[in-house]
Structure 1
Amino acid sequence: MANKQNNRNRNNNENMTVEEAGRKGGEATSRNHDRDFYEEIGRKGGEATSKNHGHEFYQEIGRKGGEATAENHGEEFYEEIGRKGGEATSEKHDDDFYEEIGRKGGEARSKQRSNNSNGNQNRRNNNNN
């Protein structure tokens, strides 16, 4: 039985498995092309994928990736990447940046509260009618 399966996986011309042929092809391609080649095919592949898939596709793969990451890493992992991200951000930005994002965040929160209170007022008015 194993012999039949092995024969099915062999390339008839070279007498090697499909896996071996793929590995050899990948090695030959990597010798013949530089980083720019791989960046270009990656960019083209990304563009094609974005044309063929909607917002839900990316939400789903993001959710699955997040779940897989959470299963493989503990609390320390997230603390460490959060610390590194915070340090990298603080090295790139000055006080003006933080003042600006603080102002924008405060304005957005104020609008959100205003909209919520208007919605509550409208619900109260509708319930009284």
Structure 2
Amino acid sequence: MANNQAGQGEGNSQKADPASSQKSNAKRGFAAMDAAQQRQIASKGGQAAHQKGTAHEFDSEEARRAGQKGGVAVSRDREHMAAIGRKGGESRQSAQRNANANASGGNRQAVDSGGSETG
């Protein structure tokens, strides 16, 4: 039991050091690399996986299932779906009004900000 307590004491000695208790904001690993270097390493990993035969290939059937799963999850939120429908209806109504205004554009006269008609 004395050995176990001694081992715990050694592990706690690092935590007692005030310098090590401060978190470092320095980036490490991939985060420290620039985007081009990250892309290059990731590309090599992908090529190696394809050569090894363990690469995942995303086919259209898998994409269909993923989209269906996402759609089912989103459609459970009735308020969200109602907001989507409302926004679509408002957009369509606005587009229809603009189309009607443009079609009868010769019949209407523009009014400038001063209130006088121009034509």
What interval of TM-score do these two structures reach, taking the shorter chain for normalisation?
0.3 to 0.5
Query: Which has the larger helix fraction?
Result: 1
TM-score normalised according to structure 1 size: 0.35
Which structure: larger Rg?
2
Question: What TM-score results when the alignment is normalised by the length of structure 2?
Answer: 0.37
